[in-house]
Structure 1
Amino acid sequence: MSTLPFPASVYAARLDRAASLAADSGLDGIVVGPGPDLQYLVGVEGDTIERLTALVLGPGLAPTIVVPRMELAKVRTTAVGALGLAVSDWVDGDNPYDLVAAALGTVSRVGVSDALPALHVIPLADRIDVRVELATPVLREGRMIKDAEEIAELRLAGEAIDAVHRRVPEWLRAGRTEREVAADIAEAIVAEGHRTVEFVIVGSGPNGADPHHEVSDRVIGDRELVVVDIGGAVPSGYNSDSTRTYVVGAPDADAADRIAVLVRAQQAAVDAVRPGATAEQIDAAARSVLAEAGLGEAFLHRTGHGIGVSVHEEPYIAPGNDLVLREGMAFSIEPGIYFPGEWGARIEDIVVVTADGCERLNIAPHGLTAV
């Protein structure tokens, strides 16, 4: 029984596109191990283990999956089975790198997905006797431009995580620990339509000044600011990611004013998104608003990251990235301000580049929310 989230024709188009991009890059073949790229191309999920699973494709090559026989039944429920792709299965005692080499044929340039570890890359390179290189420039090109089916799934994920943020006031109050609040949020992420919880950040008071704080046993106090950054994967495997900043009770007036500037900065970056703009221009739109208000040094990270089958993927909305935005790209807009030992705040939405601007996938209230 197939467990594909999309029609088999979608995966066929992705494989054809990857082979065409490989040809454009001068690669004779690509070897894709378990990870986001394999999930995107044929719907095979999971992480790398010591037994090699790899998809071999390229210009003029018949896409072939090399897989341990014990994994074969599962793999056949994906696009591998739906499309009738060639399968080279193996058992312990066989050499799977021989099977990869046979699928590649005679090659001079081979790319490997960035999730394929040295555990497999080194013996593969020894077997095919060519220098392997990263296939990331080829594989990211397909994943960066979302098709209509992917955008629909990202919309679904955005709606689901918005529903969770609207419920945060049910659980966030003085006297509870971050961990207690996070447990309620995690339960709601699944209840509101996700299949997995990818992360829950609840950063109260000074913990909010650490952008990658997760949770702790710190007790949340009255009038404290709390950063809540949450996300998960919906059944198709596409991810949500949204951050809001809350305050327990009445906020400090100065903090409220600074967060109002942050909201303006986030909106400025959203307004700047359009085809033809560069990633660094979107970052600069947010950064300039904060700098003009004297808050530039409090913004410690890039403005955003791409999202899809991975929570973080290209494009990265960062200073110095001159990548030109194109219709179908999806990424976060999430400026933040952080004051060590005091508090932090971040506002994050996922947007999709449209023909003349962008579609915002998160619409839960953006301002400082009192609970």
Structure 2
Amino acid sequence: MDCILRDENAIYYECGYSSDNALYLRLGSEAWLITDSRYTVEAREAARDAEVVEASDLLKAARSLLRSRAVKRVVYDPKDWSVAAMRGLETKLPHIRFAPVPDLSHRKRMIKRDDEIALLKRAAELGREGFDTFARYLETGGLGSREKRLHFEAEAAMSHRGEYALSFDPIVAINANAAKPHALPTDLTLKKGDLLLVDAGLRYRRYCSDRTRTAFVGESVHFGDAQRFASPRIQKAYDLVRKAHDTAIARARAGMTGAQIDRLAREVIEKGGMGEAFVHSTGHGVGLDIHEMPYISKRGTTVVEDGMVFTIEPGVYFPGEFGIRIEDMVVMRNGRAEVL
């Protein structure tokens, strides 16, 4: 399939190297990685199965290669291209049809190879270690700290003090701020008796981890599944979310659609009387990108197969009060979901 790629992770998947200024072009059995002089030394060392082309104008170099080959149709992902960049190809190469294929690379990457699953598992393990490190900080020096400081410390803990890049900007939210699924850090300070929601992950050899825990801040702090809150209302909500999380993982099967797996978790929360508080999807694929296919949502039509890696992350949110989310990454293996 003749294609042109612009997304950094899509390019990395194809040739083992990418940068923030690169194009990947495949025409038949030939492939080129086009980048500028800042990256060509590294590219020639790391790229596989692609000729490295140095260019100050990437689109011009791509057009030159396309003109030199008898090609009539090239596919691309419209989500990765600006209108201006694609017009820079289409208007000057009118004899070629540029065919949009949404999620082109994500579809190709949905079923992970064994080596990719191993990298994702290691990322998840390192992410769990980061949570443990952050819990120790909370016990020894976290009380009285603002969310902004807690956010800083979570970044340090999750990155293993800079050893690894993060998958995304961590979410660290106390009490009412946790009612915002993607809360930003505020000046709220942490004290005993608080609820603390932490959503964070790291990258291991470019592959992402993603984990969320909601914890009670008492004499000790841990991010295990068993939590005991002082408020009966919060405890009821927490137990319901945990049941939804565990049920979806236990009952998910290969051959189900994303919507059917989403329903496993959503039905538990609805039956518990908190359905309206579950405001997002049950999960999403994880790989080189933190959000990939398959999407475990009400609209998820993808049939889940062995080798797919995705999150299970039900949650409930009560604005002005509190929010709860529990999230783990799973791989579909031998027809069942296995926690990484």
User: TM-score over 0.5 for the alignment?
Assistant: yes
5 Å matches for 1:1-371?
22=1, 29-48=2-21, 53-58=22-27, 60-80=28-48, 83=49, 85-91=50-56, 95-102=60-67, 105-112=70-77, 114-129=79-94, 130-172=96-138, 173-191=142-160, 195-197=164-166, 198-234=168-204, 236-249=205-218, 250-361=229-340
Separation in 1, partners of 2:79, 2:327: 27
Separation in 2, partners of 1:54, 1:237: 19
Separation in 2, partners of 1:286, 1:105: 51
Separation in 1, partners of 2:163, 2:314: 25
Separation in 2, partners of 1:300, 1:335: 9
Separation in 1, partners of 2:262, 2:305: 16
Cα deviation for residue 334 of structure 1 reads: 0.3
Number of the residue aligned with 2:224: none
List gaps (5 residues or longer) in structure 1: 1-21, 23-28, 362-371
- Paired letter, 1:218: L
Q: Say if 2:79 and 2:103, in contact at 8 Å, map to a contact too.
A: no
Structure 1 pair 194–290 and aligned structure 2 pair: CA distance change class (3 A):
farther
Q: Secondary structure at the match of 2:128?
A: helix
Q: Say if 1:273 and 1:282, in contact at 8 Å, map to a contact too.
A: yes
Aligned residues: 325
Q: Secondary structure at the match of 2:81?
A: coil
Separation in 1, partners of 2:15, 2:32: 11
Structure 1 pair 94–299 and aligned structure 2 pair: CA distance change class (3 A):
closer
Q: Say if 1:33 and 1:115, in contact at 8 Å, map to a contact too.
A: yes
Separation in 2, partners of 1:104, 1:349: 47
- Paired letter, 2:157: A
Between 1:139-148 and 1:216-225, the stretch displaced more is 216-225
Q: Secondary structure at the match of 1:314?
A: strand
Structure 1 pair 339–224 and aligned structure 2 pair: CA distance change class (3 A):
same
Cα deviation for residue 167 of structure 1 reads: 3.0
Cα deviation for residue 226 of structure 1 reads: 1.2
TM-score by length of 2: 0.88
Cα deviation for residue 111 of structure 1 reads: 2.5
Residue deviations 1:41-60 (CA, integer Å, cap 9, x gap): 11223324xxxx311114x3
Separation in 2, partners of 1:323, 1:239: 21
RMSD between superposed Cα atoms in Å: 2.2
List gaps (5 residues or longer) in structure 2: 219-228
- Paired letter, 1:153: L
- Paired letter, 1:39: Y
Cα deviation for residue 112 of structure 1 reads: 4.0
Separation in 1, partners of 2:74, 2:119: 35
Cα deviation for residue 40 of structure 1 reads: 1.4
Residue deviations 1:140-183 (CA, integer Å, cap 9, x gap): 22211100110000110111111122233323344211122222
Q: Say if 2:193 and 2:216, in contact at 8 Å, map to a contact too.
A: yes
Structure 1 pair 42–214 and aligned structure 2 pair: CA distance change class (3 A):
farther
Structure 1 pair 195–169 and aligned structure 2 pair: CA distance change class (3 A):
closer
- Paired letter, 1:170: R
